[in-house]
Chains A and B, each alone.
Chain A
Amino acid sequence: MSIELQNIHFSYGRVKALKGISLSIDKGATGLLGPNGAGKSTLLKIMLGFLTPDQGDGQVLGYNLRTEQQFIRRQIGYMPEDECFIPGMDAVSFTALMGELSGMPRQEAMKRAHEVLFYVGLGESRYRLTDTYSSGMKQRLKLAQALVHDPKLLFLDEPTSYLDPTGRQEILELIGEIASAKDIRVLICSHILADIEAICQQVVIINRGEVAAVGRIEDLRMVNYELYELKIKGELELLRKELEAAGCRVEENEERVVKVYTPPEFDHRQIFKAAARNRIQVRQFVRSQTSLEDLFARVVGVD
């Protein structure tokens, strides 16, 4: 297991930030999701060894969260969300410095810095001052510095922010390749759920300091609900009331497509029966693929 947490509690004074987080994350890419204030940052701080949990224990890459924090940080590559760099340095010196700080010998760090800068697509501009980089280039540079010491686990915080669509696609491909083919575990925090959906096989959703959902995205979609898309003729409100009373969530989009999220064990024939009772014609009925956005909204309890 790359990350294994058992019953982690943490409080900022009286405010309980984490209330018994237990989870196991293994190979591949994992998305860490949650609304603002859910406890994601606190959890990341604990996993990086900056905070010690009030209660509970855990291991990251086999190192204890409480006693081996330095070892954890040695094996982790962290790509922060903020635009951060050291002014006055060129990209290759900057990346090499980060490698050295992780424990690489100086010459090796320099050689490796060249390699990772080529890998993230900054090979041609590696001798340019980082101050002169565009936002997209800085994003790639942050990925390079996180990779320079060949970490076993990558923490990526909003890796595609500040990127144009092409740049975003390229970064996602890089991360996907790292996670799938390079034997590096990747933990991604992002608000762009489409990114998580594109790269991650599994997801951890945190809400109000607790794990709201954890597992493979495919499995969670199946477990939590099913989605049907309908086109109807008639008064939606009557149908909505009846379905919501049965535990469904009903939404209508701008194209007048009605989305019905049904709870597990719900028999979809009840939708037809409810429509018939309210004299509504069902003109189209499709069992739809639910998105991560749907899953997130459902689990966290927001629209």
Chain B
Amino acid sequence: MTEVREKGYHHWDGQLEDRRQVFWPITRTGIKLAFERRHFKLLFSMSFLPALAYGGAIYISERLEDFKFIAQGSEKSFQINPAFFKSYLTMEFIYFIILLLLSLGGAGLIADDFRHKAIQLYFARPIRKLDYLLGKAGVVMFFVGLLTIVPGIILVVLKLLFSGSFKFFLNYPWLILSIIFYSLFLMIFFTAFVLLASSLSKNRNYVIAIIFGLYYLSEIIRGILYTIFRSPYSALFSFRANLQQVGAGFFLTNKPYGLPWYLSFIVICLFCLFAYYVVNRKVRGVEVIK
């Protein structure tokens, strides 16, 4: 690398590249900026506690004799089957920690660009709107993926390692695919959810309020509708209930709200399409020059 020249303007003698993954610098920057936010690293490390607990549960399940004093009366909790993995990925706490993490690290993804008018800096470059949105989506997907797909697969590997045989894998050969596809589903949903919220305001504090407000408001609506009508279909109004329903569908377990899981899948897909439509309308390259 040649030394940096201090004085005067010099032409750059390199060649501009036709990059395929134009979104990557945006994603990388977004991830880096998230880690630089106050308390983010602490929260990020704490978000792996459930995965550690589940890893511990897998270890104990293979050594039940040694851990009788812990497992006494709750042997069922230490049965490792698809429901065990589903319970990790559909746990309320996981959804909450994802929302918390994304509130700190993802709320400003588009909102900050609106607020500080950075959007025009991006679009004055040879990038398309899709590249910009993919770059921002990559940040959310990275964090959601780290809390879903990565621990999910590591837990399966731990199970195989601790049991010392492939019996579990042969019993449930589809489990890995369920983990991957449900994690991808969660990644897409949370990406749509956070980017939608982030595009609705220029103020990241309002975005955080929108993220939590929207999520828990849907739960409150479900509760009210269920109280009035006593209908299982009220679950379709709740993000959490729909995610858990789809999770049960992917892992072939009992549906928690007694509805066909594909209805929830359709609701979430429609929401993602709506979010894409709104974000696509909000982010406009032509606004570069006012």
Let me know if B116 is at the binding interface, CB within 8 A. yes
Which listed segment binds B: A15-23, A40-48, A271-279?
A40-48
Minimum Cβ distance to chain B for residue A261 (Å): 33
* Closest Cβ neighbor of A189 among chain B residues: B289
Let me know if B172 is at the binding interface, CB within 8 A. no
* Closest Cβ neighbor of B284 among chain A residues: A50
Say whether B289 contacts A149, CB under 8 Å. Answer: no
Q: How many Å lie between the Cα of A74 and that of B120 in the bound state?
A: 14
Let me know if B2 is at the binding interface, CB within 8 A. yes
* Closest Cβ neighbor of B125 among chain A residues: A101
Contact status of A97 and B123, CB under 8 A, knowing A45-B288, A103-B18, A104-B14: no
Let me know if A123 is at the binding interface, CB within 8 A. yes
Q: How many Å lie between the Cα of A115 and that of B14 in the bound state?
A: 14
Contact status of A111 and B288, CB under 8 A, knowing A71-B126, A118-B6: no
* Closest Cβ neighbor of A70 among chain B residues: B126
Contact status of A111 and B16, CB under 8 A, knowing A44-B289, A86-B112: no
* Contact for A150 among B11, B22, B36, CB less than 8 A: B11
* Chain A, range 172-192, C-beta contacts under 8 Å to B: 177-178, 182-183
Contact status of A114 and B118, CB under 8 A, knowing A87-B108, A150-B11, A178-B9: no
Q: How many Å lie between the Cα of A46 and that of B14 in the bound state?
A: 28
Q: How many Å lie between the Cα of A114 and that of B9 in the bound state?
A: 12
* Contact for A111 among B1, B124, B286, CB less than 8 A: B1
Mask: chain B, 25-48; 1 = CB below 8 Å from A; 0 = not: 110010001001100000000000
Say whether A80 contacts B125, CB under 8 Å. Answer: no
Say whether B126 contacts A115, CB under 8 Å. Answer: no
* Contact for A48 among B8, B36, B288, CB less than 8 A: B288
Contact status of A104 and B1, CB under 8 A, knowing A44-B289, A86-B116: no
Say whether A103 contacts B126, CB under 8 Å. Answer: yes
Q: What residues on B are CB-neighbors of A182 within 8 Å? A: 9, 11
Let me know if B76 is at the binding interface, CB within 8 A. no
Number of residues on chain A facing chain B (CB within 8 A):
51
Q: How many Å lie between the Cα of A71 and that of B29 in the bound state?
A: 24
Q: What residues on B are CB-neighbors of A74 within 8 Å? A: 16, 125-126
* Closest Cβ neighbor of A123 among chain B residues: B6
Say whether B9 contacts A104, CB under 8 Å. Answer: no
Minimum Cβ distance to chain B for residue A12 (Å): 11
How many A-B contacts at CB < 8 Å in the complex? 124
Let me know if A296 is at the binding interface, CB within 8 A. no
Say whether A104 contacts B10, CB under 8 Å. Answer: no
Let me know if A244 is at the binding interface, CB within 8 A. no
Minimum Cβ distance to chain A for residue B288 (Å): 6
Minimum Cβ distance to chain A for residue B134 (Å): 13
Say whether B4 contacts A108, CB under 8 Å. Answer: no
Let me know if B66 is at the binding interface, CB within 8 A. no
Q: What residues on A are CB-neighbors of B286 within 8 Å? A: 45, 50-51
Let me know if B215 is at the binding interface, CB within 8 A. no
Let me know if A293 is at the binding interface, CB within 8 A. no
Let me know if A83 is at the binding interface, CB within 8 A. yes
* Chain B, range 111-145, C-beta contacts under 8 Å to A: 112-113, 115-118, 120-128
Minimum Cβ distance to chain A for residue B34 (Å): 9
| 26 residue pairs bridging A and B, Cβ less than 8 Å apart | A45-B288, A48-B288, A50-B288, A80-B120, A80-B288, A82-B120, A82-B290, A85-B116, A86-B121, A87-B116, A89-B33, A98-B125, A101-B22, A101-B25, A101-B26, A101-B127, A102-B16, A103-B16, A105-B14, A106-B25, A118-B5, A119-B7, A119-B8, A119-B9, A149-B16, A183-B11
Which A residues are within 8 Å of any B CB, using their own CB?
41, 44-45, 48, 50-51, 70-71, 73-74, 76, 78, 80-89, 93, 97-98, 100-108, 111-112, 114-116, 118-119, 123, 145, 147, 149-150, 157, 177-178, 182-183
- 11 new A-B contacts, CB < 8 A, other than A82-B117, A86-B33, A86-B118, are A41-B290, A70-B128, A71-B126, A73-B126, A74-B126, A78-B124, A84-B120, A84-B121, A85-B121, A86-B29, A118-B4
Which B residues are within 8 Å of any A CB, using their own CB?
1-2, 4-12, 14, 16-19, 22, 25-26, 29, 33, 36-37, 108, 112-113, 115-118, 120-128, 285-286, 288-290
